[in-house]
Structure 1
């Protein structure tokens, strides 16, 4: 059984606690956080405010804010276990001076109270020693059916792509909800076109599926749209329309 230590108490950490506690091949031997009060999810997991060096550990997962990773690494520099952070846009070098460094990056948007299907969640791994790559692959495979060894450069590009396809898309959906609410229309009217857009992008190149007034340079329609938008949303509309037009007309 693989013995795991977890540092951090955010959304990802909470999901990892549940995953490790319900996995027959892992044992969560310690959960470390800044608060003196254990999270309610701790249950039977030993919780501490500092990493316990006297507890036998195979892998220590650092699931903290990106900016906090170097400080945590400094505190862990003398441990023998493999230490892996879980960030998409942080170099493995941020874990120096730890000897055994790795990355355990689940590609998903984690929400505290939302259920998560770990089996379909990609986990991207990286390590500075070959044996530790194998160890991380073994650990990740206990949770997910989609494990990928990728480079630091690939991970940064993947994280950037995730921001476009998840964070930015969600922001645009929020604007769409606001527009329909102001018009006294149910947002559900847009559900079919939203669903169709994403489903088609899974099967084809999204660029080839582009339609709309920006692509065909329909200025008259765009001006009508701008007339019903706030100044901030209108600015975003212009930026996106210009990007679409340039993509298809250069």
Structure 2
């Protein structure tokens, strides 16, 4: 078994713990949490510590904290020449303290509290400074996921930006659509089959091929009607920017 210590008790950390508990390859021997009362499902409270000096020796230390805390946390690990990784999409491997061997174990997914996920379908992006460490991370990754990718820090930065566009911004557009529905006494669930079909189409088509709508058709009459309907300035600006982007993208093809 590969012994692992997880540092952090937030959404990503908790989902990782839940996945590793089911693994026959990985043994999470300890979790560091600033809050000893953290509710970590399927994990013994006696194995939780809030003292870095009490960290146990392990094969792998996974830092799963906010991006801004990664560097400081790595400095507090009381060991040298151990394999230490973080789970961030936007933090470079070089942010980890070089007293230890460094790597990245980045599960590319949106995690929410109390919302279970199928980890076997989640891509895990791995980076390490040498082949031996990479192989260990790959083994850990394959114990919970079928999708392992070798992604360096520059690639991961690009991937994280792409994920913000593809996930966070899209979800915000759902929120705008939901608000428009609420204001007009329309149940948002009417849009859900459309949302699901749009997401499913990009499994077989490129996003450009899947694009539909008035901007794709350059239907100025419908576009102007929508802009006249919208009352909020921010919604109008978002509509204009996205419409222009779709039209401009079509001109480049």
Q: Same fold (TM over 0.5)?
A: yes
1:89 aligns with 2:90: yes
User: Deviation string for 1:179-230 (max 9, x for gaps)?
Assistant: 1222222223222322221111110111122222223332222122122221
The 3 A distance-change label for structure 1 pair 51 and 170 is same
1:198 aligns with 2:196: no
Do the aligned partners of 2:49 and 2:55 also contact (CA within 8 Å) in 1? no
Q: CA shift at 1:39, angstroms? A: 3.0
Q: C-alpha distance in 2, partners of 1:189/1:131?
A: 51
Return 5+ residue gaps in structure 2 as ranges. Answer: none
Q: C-alpha distance in 1, partners of 2:195/2:173?
A: 11
Match of residue 172 from structure 1: 173
Match of residue 242 from structure 1: 244
1:66 aligns with 2:81: no
Q: C-alpha distance in 2, partners of 1:241/1:130?
A: 46
Q: CA shift at 1:38, angstroms? A: 4.0
Match of residue 218 from structure 1: 219
1:231 aligns with 2:240: no
The 3 A distance-change label for structure 1 pair 78 and 55 is closer
Match of residue 100 from structure 1: 101
Match of residue 30 from structure 2: 30
Do the aligned partners of 2:14 and 2:40 also contact (CA within 8 Å) in 1? no
The 3 A distance-change label for structure 1 pair 80 and 97 is closer
Q: Aligned Cα RMSD in Å?
A: 1.7
Match of residue 128 from structure 1: 129
SS in 1 for 2:5: strand
Return 5+ residue gaps in structure 1 as ranges. Answer: none
Q: Give the total of aligned pairs.
A: 250
Q: C-alpha distance in 2, partners of 1:113/1:180?
A: 27
Match of residue 8 from structure 1: 8
The 3 A distance-change label for structure 1 pair 243 and 54 is closer
Match of residue 114 from structure 1: 115
The 3 A distance-change label for structure 1 pair 54 and 192 is closer
SS in 2 for 1:80: coil
SS in 1 for 2:214: coil
